[in-house]
Amino acid sequence: MVILILVFCISFFFGANAKNLISMRNHNTSGKTEESTPTKTETGSPTTTATEDHTDTPTTQVDSVSQLIAGMSLEEKIGQMFIVSFTGTTVPTALNALIKDNHVGGVILYPENIENDNQLVTLINSIKVVNSVNKLPLFISTDQEGGRVSRLPARATTFPPNLVIGEKRSATLSYAVGNVMGKELKAYGFNVDFAPVLDIFSNPQNTVIGDRSFGSDPNLVASLGVATMEGIRNTGVIPVIKHFPGHGDTSVDSHKDLPISYKTMDQLEAFELVPFEEAIKDGADMVMVAHIELPNVDRSLTPASLSTYVISDILRQRLHFNGVVITDDMHMEAIRKYYSVADATVKAVEAGTDIVLICHSYEEQIESYNALLQAVQKGVISEARIDQSVRRIILLKEKYNLTDQPSTLAAVLSHVGTEENKEIAKETEEK
């Protein structure tokens, strides 16, 4: 009888209620914002080294995360390391399976998934309902940069490209812009924004970055980029700085082929890395790594997103980044022309990546999940290495108090496209 009671207690603890380990996941009954704003003293997560540093993490928090990881199957752990896209404006069968069967850690929404306010709130709430069978809440993400990369419905406040905002040279204004974007994203139910762009616009032939950059001065990009990051972060939405180690001096669009930068390490440190280093010092939580080849930095000619030298040596060791590393979309031709997405996924994780972003192909998503799972089962990648990434992911979800509680249309009407938000947008365009 005692044994039966013990088995029941263990099963209950590691079941759906294990979600309560995510910072006592708030249950909101007011219909307002359900995720609290992270405190500025909470910085990052463990490093990739075998002996993990929990100096900034309370012992009780580490213990609870360790307990949660111990109760997860390998399949659940692997799933947490994927963010996926999907087709349509409702939850398709493929996404339902990816969440329930493969336990993916997050989703990304594109314009094809978004029609209007009510549809978007309903869609995100439906995704969260599907995820109710899993132990951890989902990352619900999109690219809301402003300018030509804006995903929210028509009600949302419209901002000019970062290059225009950069002309104001105002960190205060950039913070306000980030704060508006974060509040509006959160009202719809998003909790991750793939912004701000920290690339420096140093090559006029660069069309993939172009006006998405704050400018050609690394210190200006650092100042305004960090301010935007802080503005987003202080709404409780996770900002993602991108595209490490800098995509601004390339002329090839990584959606179409693999860009090459001939910068040396010294040149990167003096220019491209400046905004990233400042953001990391300011407590950046997630970094997106670019698909870009750096032959004068990494002689293996491996794209940065698959490079141990770029991710583990430069980002982790030199810049002391202890947060979550995510790849740019693996469906881009910069990867697909030279690797299978499944092989690239394994290489990215071997290099130190925590989350692999795969969009636009359910087949590639499943193949990549299976490839990573098999790599662990065959001993190519250790389960301890997977646990390192899962720990960082859990700590980040906990830091931002993510939940699967539903959003409301009332929150959208209260926080999106308000006169106050529009006034900030007007400031960005005043001469």
Annotated catalytic sites, by residue?
Answer: 255, 328
Distance (Å, rounded) from C-alpha 11 to C-alpha 277?
A: 43
Handedness of CA 34, 135, 141, 320 (dihedral sign): positive
Q: Which helix (H) or strand (E) holds 409?
A: helix 409-415
| DSSP state, residue 197 | B
Distance (Å, rounded) from C-alpha 281 to C-alpha 287?
A: 13
The 10 Å Cβ neighbour count of residue 203 is 16
Distance (Å, rounded) from C-alpha 336 to C-alpha 306?
A: 13
φ, ψ at 142 (rounded to 5°):
-160, 175
Residue 336: is it exposed, middle or buried by C-beta count within 10 angstroms (0-12/13-18/19+)?
middle
Distance (Å, rounded) from C-alpha 171 to C-alpha 176?
A: 9
Side-chain-facing half-sphere of 320: CA atoms under 13 Å: 9
φ, ψ at 356 (rounded to 5°):
-105, 125
In 307-394 the beta strands, taken as DSSP E runs, fall at: 324-327, 356-358
Distance (Å, rounded) from C-alpha 314 to C-alpha 312?
A: 6
Number of residues in the chain: 431
Coil vs helix vs strand at 112: helix
